[in-house]
Amino acid sequence: MPSPSPAHGPSTVPDRPADGGLVRTDLHLPVVRRGKVRDVYRLPGEDGGPPRVLIVATDRISAFDVVMPTAVPDKGRLLTEIAVRWFEFLRPLGIVPDHLLSTDPADAAGLSDPERTLLAGRTMIGRGAAVVPVECVVRGYLSGSGWGDYQRTGAVCGVRLPAGLERSARLDEPIFTPATKADEGHDENIDFEEACRVAGRATMERLRDASMRIYAAARDHAEAHGLILADTKFEFGFALGPDGLPTDELLLVDEVLTPDSSRYWPKADWAPGIEPPSFDKQFVRNWLLGEVEAGRWDKTPPGPALPADVVAGTADRYRATLSMLFGDADRG
């Protein structure tokens, strides 16, 4: 885990723009990192136990590795709910422990009452972990950057695939295609041997096995509920001990199987050779590509302001994903 930066001084109520979206937090807690969507803070361990983290899912949205200036209200709450539901689904399977301890901001000492109210539904308190610097991507269908790699080389991350596959084709067996992690800029697809050089062969073999098993279970659940899980990425870390040093206990960390980390398609709309409509950020990407083609944006910061219909349509897709996968989208 990166070393925390100093706290920012007096705690303030997080930034909430007029449209209701939460775009930034500035809590009186040590900052671990600010990602494209999540603000992560360090929390002390309980009763002398291992350190913890407070993960806040904001309503920021990124595309083409650029954070857009427009928030998508309630996106952070929807992402958190989807991730928590998946953690609950996966735990009985016993594949790998996860980092999640609580979703109640009241369990985070140091927050004011207004902050706890505003952060409700969008926080995860997790076990501290030394995150493995490799994205664990599993693909069951040929799409996205995998489709581009296949067109150029006939392989994806060094995994040779049969000739003549069409876009969005279902693979005979899912494939493990790791990528480097990048806080800024693009993640880079790498082959398994390069991942082993980054993180160690024994670690990567454990991660590959866990990733493939999680994907298979999630794919079957999604299909039974009318969605295709085309591909997804996982993050893992080694749990920290009371001394703050990594142990050998592997944890599934951060989010899991959300529309921000996964490509979901309506099962009824899938067919080889086409790119089905998706329940993820592709709706935003498609609008942005129109801006690029019109010469109004060049895929560099700052991004263009998103129109109201794109914001609403994006939120609707996140809600639909939660509802289709797990039923009622609001458990209160």
What does the pLDDT look like over 78-106, one tens digit per residue? 999 999 999 999 999 999 999 999 999 99
**Predicted local distance difference test score (pLDDT) of residue 5:** 32
Max CA-CA distance within the chain?
A: 60
pLDDT tens string 221-238: 999 999 999 999 999 999
Cα 40 to Cα 21, 124, 183, distances in angstroms: 18, 10, 13
Full-model pTM: 0.90
pLDDT confidence band for 13 (50 / 70 / 90)? very low
| Inside any domain, residue 295 | no
Percentage of the chain surpassing pLDDT 90? 81
**Predicted local distance difference test score (pLDDT) of residue 188:** 86
Q: Average per-residue pLDDT in the chain?
A: 90
CA dihedral 283, 284, 288, 293 (to 10 degrees): 0
| Inside any domain, residue 141 | yes
33-47, 129-143, 161-175: least confidently modelled range: 33-47
Distance of CA 246 to the CA centre of its chain: 23
**Predicted local distance difference test score (pLDDT) of residue 51:** 95
Would you say residue 65 has pLDDT above 90?
no
Residues in the chain: 332
Query: Which is higher by pLDDT, 164 or 185?
Result: 164
Residues 239 and 152 in one domain: yes
**Predicted local distance difference test score (pLDDT) of residue 152:** 95
List residues bridging with 136 in a β-sheet.
234
Residues 79 and 141 in one domain: no
List residues bridging with 100 in a β-sheet.
126
Residues 54 and 150 in one domain: no
pLDDT tens string 40-61: 999 998 888 999 999 999 999 9
**Predicted local distance difference test score (pLDDT) of residue 282:** 82
Residue 299 CA to residue 319 CA, distance in Å, equals: 27
Give me the DSSP letters along 275-291: ----SSTHHHHHHHHHH
| Inside any domain, residue 26 | no
Number of domains making up the chain: 2
| Inside any domain, residue 2 | no
The amino acid present at 72, given as its one-letter code, is V
pLDDT tens string 193-231: 999 999 999 999 999 999 999 999 999 999 999 999 999
Residues 6+ apart with CB under 8 A from 55: 38, 39, 40, 123, 124, 125, 126, 254
CATH of the domain at 48: 3.30.200.20
**Predicted local distance difference test score (pLDDT) of residue 280:** 80
Q: Are 82 and 325 in contact (CB under 8 A)?
A: yes
Task: Note down the domain range covering 208.
Answer: 131-269
Tracing tokens 């083609």 back to the chain, one arrives at 293
- Give the strand pairing for 227-240 and 134-141: antiparallel
Residues 6+ apart with CB under 8 A from 167: 142, 143, 147, 272, 273, 274, 275
| Inside any domain, residue 317 | no
Domain end, chosen from 269, 295, 317, is at 269
pLDDT confidence band for 178 (50 / 70 / 90)? very high
Which of 238, 236, 237, 234 lies closest to 260, judged by CA? Answer: 234
What is the DSSP code (8-state) at residue 5?
B
Residues 242 and 148 in one domain: yes
What is the DSSP code (8-state) at residue 24?
B
Residues 71 and 89 in one domain: yes
Alpha-carbon torsion (287, 289, 295, 297), positive or negative: positive
Domain end, chosen from 215, 240, 269, is at 269
| Inside any domain, residue 296 | no
| Inside any domain, residue 107 | yes
Residues 224 and 200 in one domain: yes
| Inside any domain, residue 275 | no
Residues 179 and 64 in one domain: no
